[in-house]
């Protein structure tokens, strides 16, 4: 039976993966608009705010290619974990990762220019 939990990835590991250019992940940010305004992730993301899932739920298959690894992020890693679990339950994405500690960890460990909130 396949593991139905997103794989954890640290901020430093994600930074190395993005910089390597080797099979770059699709980044999915599930935070709210106001959170993105305060501390945007410094790379291109698909923004799917969980509070408005009714607006985008049907578009997930077209927005997240099944053949590309997905890394989900939020403020601290909890909401992204839930979305990652949901993605795996849909059996469309075999490789789903969760940014441990979210954008807050990214700010503390990788890029202090990203504001903390």
Q: CA dist 70 to 3, 5, 48, 108, 117, Å?
A: 15, 13, 13, 22, 25
Write down the mean pLDDT value for the chain: 94
Active site residue 74: yes
- Set 39, 45, 74, 99: catalytic member: 74
Locate 38 and state its tokens.
Answer: 């305060």
Q: What is the mean pLDDT of residues 18-28?
A: 92
- Report how far residue 102's alpha carbon sits from residue 82's, in angstroms, rounded to the nearest whole number: 13
| Superfamily of domain covering 7-109 | Rhodanese-like domain (3.40.250.10)
The domains of the chain are located at 7-109
pLDDT tens readout for residues 33-58? 999 999 999 999 999 999 999 999 99
Scanning the structure block, which residue is given the tokens 């590309």? 68
Locate 116 and state its tokens.
Answer: 């903390």
Do the beta carbons of residue 101 and residue 77 sit within 8 Å? yes
- Report how far residue 114's alpha carbon sits from residue 104's, in angstroms, rounded to the nearest whole number: 8
């Amino acid at each position: 039976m396949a593991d139905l939990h997103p794989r954890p990835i640290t901020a430093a590991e994600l930074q190395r993966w993005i910089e390597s250019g080797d099979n770059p992940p699709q980044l999915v940010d599930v935070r709210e608009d106001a959170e993105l305004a305060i501390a945007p992730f410094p790379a291109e993301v698909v923004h799917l705010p969980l509070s408005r899932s009714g607006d985008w739920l049907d578009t997930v298959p077209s927005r997240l290619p099944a053949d590309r690894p997905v890394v989900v992020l939020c403020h601290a890693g909890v909401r992204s974990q839930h979305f990652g679990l949901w993605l795996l339950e849909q059996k469309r994405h075999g490789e789903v990762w969760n940014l441990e500690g979210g954008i807050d960890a990214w700010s503390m460990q990788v890029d202090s220019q990203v504001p903390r909130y």
